[in-house]
Amino acid sequence: MTNRTFVLACLTPLFIFSLLFLALPLGRLFLASGEGDAGWAVYLDIVRKPRYLNTLVLTVLVSAATTIAALAVSTTAGMFLVRNQFRGRGTVLSVLTLPLAFPGVVIGFLIILLGGRQGLVNQLTPGHVVFAYSAIGLFLGYLYFSIPRVLLTVMAAAEKLDPSLEEAARTMGASPYRVVMDVIIPGLMPSLIASGAIAFATAMGAFGTAFTLATNIDVIPMVIYTEFTLSANIAMAAALSIALGIVTWILLLIARSLSGSTVAGGG
């Protein structure tokens, strides 16, 4: 067997598997999206029909809020952990990255323990404070799985940042605010965009968390699920899946071109 044929033989199982279980199913899904009553106009319906448009707007809003909050929290914590050595630093870091492999359903349950009817906040506060099943609960759930992902990307970039630049800015009289705005954030910018794109894409596609929490609110993954199982509107479910898949794919492509690697995983 020559070298070249051996290398090609090595790639064959991968090729067959991804053809059978990735390329063909995705092709079928795309065709299925055009087989409904509306034909290919089903993609227009996503932005034309209020039910889908409202869902789209809500999903984008919650995902954007999650991204901004996760960037703020993780950049602050990440810079702190990179620049300071203290006892317990390893523990703090482990706690902050622990949820990386938690499935979305578990995170949904943890939010219920915080903000559900029997939750911590409702027990501690005098009034009736239940937020787990609202958009706030969803936001907190998404934030929960976004913090570790953003933190790891930002910390990797922060370690390469030169502390002497900040020192120089400070000796020249820059306020801490100006140091953050003019030195730290520009230095971290590629990784901030990359991790922001990851957080946004994961939040857009998060099904598990929404499945546990979003009993009353429609976000895109939940609508795909109900269109498919309850309404048997397969064309719409397929069209929404394709549209969502393209958006998240482009976002992660941007993330990868900026930071080299992505910490992905479903929410």
Give the length of the chain.
267
Please, what is the angle between helix 185-205 and helix 135-158, to 10°? Answer: 140
Q: Least distance from C-beta 35 to another protein, angstroms?
A: 10
Question: Between 46 and 77, whose beta carbon lies closer to another protein?
Answer: 77
Q: Which residues fall within 8 angstroms of residue 211, CB to CB, at 6 or more apart?
A: 104, 105, 108, 221, 222, 225
Stretch touching another protein by CB under 8 A, among 38-46, 48-56, 140-148, 187-195: 140-148
Per-residue binder mask for another protein (CB under 8 A), 33-72, x = binder? ----------------------------------------
Sort residue 39 into left (φ over 0), alpha (ψ -120 to 50) or beta: left
Q: Which of 95, 69, 251 is nearest to 150 (CA)?
A: 69
- Residue in 63, 191, 212, 259 binding another protein, rule: CB under 8 A: 212
Q: What is the footprint of another protein within residues 155-174 (CB under 8 A)?
A: none
- Identify the three-state secondary structure at position 14: helix
46 versus 251: smaller Cβ distance to another protein: 251
Mark the segment that binds another protein (CB under 8 A) among 46-54, 58-66, 139-147, 183-191: 139-147
Give the residue carrying structure tokens 């509107």: 233
- Interaction with another protein in 221-240: which residues (CB under 8 A)? 221, 224-225, 228, 234, 237-238
Q: Which of residues 70-129 bind another protein (CB under 8 A)?
A: 73-74, 76-77, 79-81, 84, 92, 94-106, 108-114, 118, 120
CA–CA distance, 107 with 140 (Å, rounded to integer): 9
CA neighbor of 251 nearest in space, from 204, 210, 189, 186: 204
Alpha-carbon 209 to chain mean position: 11
Q: What Cα–Cα distance (Å) separates residue 255 from each residue in 1, 191, 196, 220, 245? A: 41, 8, 8, 22, 15
**Does 142 participate in binding another protein (rule CB under 8 A)?**
no
Stretch touching another protein by CB under 8 A, among 8-16, 36-44, 57-65, 186-194: 8-16
Compute the least distance from the CB of residue 68 to another protein, in Å: 14
Contact region with another protein (CB under 8 A), list: 36-44, 46-54, 58-66, 257-265 = 257-265
